[in-house]
Structure 1
Amino acid sequence: MYQTLTTQLDNNILIVTINRPEKMNALNQQMMGELGLVIDEIYRNKDIKAAVLTGSGEKAFVAGADISEFLTLSPKQGEELAKSGHVVFQRIECSPKPIIAAVNGFALGGGCELAMACHFRIASENAKFGQPEVNLGLIPGYGGTQRLTQLIGKGKATELMMTGDMLSAAEAQAWGLVNHVVKLEELLPKAIAILQKIQTKAPLAIARVVKCVNAALDKDVDGWETEIREFAACFATKDLQEGAEAFIQKRQANFKGE
């Protein structure tokens, strides 16, 4: 179905692998279109409860954008390119189902932006993160200036984007960009283990966590009011009834997303 991605659904977790190893999995317009399609599938398919984004091979998650596509773009075409990227990455960020990045190697430019759009990130020890667009006379265009600032703070984000420097996995963890750093062979098992734990929780509550966390960073939304509203909405769900009864009865809850 896809030419730049592979997908595998196992135990309700969709593993999406970016598959352009000959180009270090660099983002191009075809891949962005296919990412949009697979995100639509995650939203729509009830058999998919969560997803992992990773890259093929051991060297790169996504080593940036395919620069050859930039050479003939006009400012208007550049605007359209950025807008299309924002749409796809915002769909990832706002997914009611958990989507996490398992970063294996280089996550640079658009690759770093893709990883940051996910709900959180796990990195292999050989991972490298950066926004080196200034080396090309560019700036990040898929939300990187905003998400990097939100994740690591204004001063560190500004330095990283101005210098084009890369962060090691350990530095990225220390700066708050990634949650966990593991050996390469443990990367996918770690991601899957976390998602399996999340799958035991109430899916409607998980979706509301995503909505409220995103609201905290959206200047156009009152995050406090969003929390109150979403908290109240939980009381209309069967999942809350099940969760409360399971807690009182000292048993494992069986949530159905209702």
Structure 2
Amino acid sequence: MAVLVACRSVWQAFRVQSVGRENACRLAATFSCSGPHVLSSRVLPCLRLSSRGAVTRHYSSDSKDDLRVRYLDGEDSGIVVVGINRPKAKNAISKNLVKMMFEAVEDIKTNNKVRSVILCSLVPGIFCAGADLKERAKMHQSEVGPFVSKARALITELGNLPVPTIAAIDGAALGGGLEMALACDIRISSNTAKMGLVETKLAIIPGAGGTQRLPRVIGVSLAKELIFAARVVNGTEAHQMGLVSHSVEQNNSGDAAYLRALELAREINPQGPIAIRMAKLAINQGIEVSVGSSSHACVAFKVIPTKDRLEGLAAFKEKRRPHYKGE
């Protein structure tokens, strides 16, 4: 009971608004506070409870809070939640956020126990507003090019993570924010979320893969229309055109897409982790090569000598749930 109360408080602290009893109960298992959660060398402790069993988190302007990473435990072990937390800047992509996200991606990439990643926002009503143009305006001309290259490299690295990545879009995802979501394998949005590659309004073009990824997701002609017109669509429209896999009705706590993403991550979690990684690699390579490509076949053969494959066969024979270890 103490764990449930504590975790309810953590979520309230993240969202800076009251969470209904039903939503709090659903989220309690997600943000388990039975131990510290580690991001690189930093330990992020759970928030303390007040005498009434609740806390209100005032968003900090401290740059160390720009990104919050949670490695879930218990039955959700293997799920990593990466939460962007720049409320005053609408989660805009800054130099510090890029640095912190690079660290988080590197940690995830080298951790074989990670099975899926949820990228979300901890700021109600916003996913990511794109580049931090206020910070950009203060940069020396010589700094702009290297920063843009690093931001582009970050989104590429996000797309290259070996495990499934899910973008939970509960608010506006514009410009580089949508490009970040497009780099994820699956996108889930609330019906009220807003999405668009709006760079042409500023006389520039999407520079972090949007011109390549959006056409592959929704088709060339429609992608051109959205980019040329700098059009913004809502979650329902995004689902109709295939930009997001699911569009869910937003709830009172503003985290409906996150909750649906968590459900999906829990569906993925019990499956063979090596098989999932190889399936992602095979799919990503497969859209670039012919069906009978030898490189595609080589990926498929990598799962044959694994212990997990033998466990799967044994579990099927014994009519029980398999227990995969990623070996």
Shared topology, TM-score over 0.5? Answer: yes
Does residue 193 of structure 1 match 2:268? no
Higher relative contact order (CA 8 A, sep 6+): 1
Q: State the secondary structure of the residue aligned to 1:42.
A: helix
User: Partners in 2 of 1:132 and 1:73 — Cα distance?
Assistant: 24
Give the number of aligned pairs: 255
* Alpha-carbon spacing, 1:77–1:209, altered in 2? closer, same or farther (3 Å): farther
1:94·1:214 contact (CA, 8 Å) conserved in 2?
Answer: no
Name 1:241's counterpart in structure 2: 310
Q: State the secondary structure of the residue aligned to 1:234.
A: coil
| Higher mean C-alpha deviation, range 57-66 or range 128-137 | 57-66
C-alpha displacement of 1:43:
1.6
Q: State the secondary structure of the residue aligned to 2:192.
A: coil
User: Partners in 1 of 2:149 and 2:212 — Cα distance?
Assistant: 14
Percent of aligned pairs sharing the same letter: 32
* Alpha-carbon spacing, 1:158–1:182, altered in 2? closer, same or farther (3 Å): same
Name 1:9's counterpart in structure 2: 71
Q: State the AA in 2 paired with 1:180.
A: H
The alignment's TM-score, normalised by the length of structure 1, stands at 0.91
Name 2:133's counterpart in structure 1: 67
The alignment's TM-score, normalised by the length of structure 2, stands at 0.73
C-alpha displacement of 1:46:
4.4
C-alpha displacement of 1:166:
0.6
Q: State the secondary structure of the residue aligned to 1:142.
A: coil
1:17·1:55 contact (CA, 8 Å) conserved in 2?
Answer: yes
2:86·2:123 contact (CA, 8 Å) conserved in 1?
Answer: no
* Alpha-carbon spacing, 1:226–1:167, altered in 2? closer, same or farther (3 Å): farther
User: Partners in 2 of 1:175 and 1:251 — Cα distance?
Assistant: 40
Structure number with greater Rg is: 2
Q: Deviations over 1:161-208 (max 9, x none)?
A: 111011110111111111111133432221111111111101111111
Does residue 56 of structure 1 match 2:122? yes
Taking only aligned residues, the RMSD between alpha carbons, in angstroms, comes to 1.9
Matches within 5 A, 1:21-36: 21-36=87-102
2:113·2:326 contact (CA, 8 Å) conserved in 1?
Answer: no
C-alpha displacement of 1:9:
2.3
Structure with greater proportional helix content: 1
Which of 223, 236, 246 is the equivalent residue of 1:170?
236
Q: State the AA in 2 paired with 1:95.
A: L
2:170·2:190 contact (CA, 8 Å) conserved in 1?
Answer: yes
User: Partners in 2 of 1:101 and 1:199 — Cα distance?
Assistant: 16
* Alpha-carbon spacing, 1:128–1:67, altered in 2? closer, same or farther (3 Å): same
Matches within 5 A, 1:73-222: 74=141, 78-185=144-251, 186-218=256-288
Name 2:298's counterpart in structure 1: 229
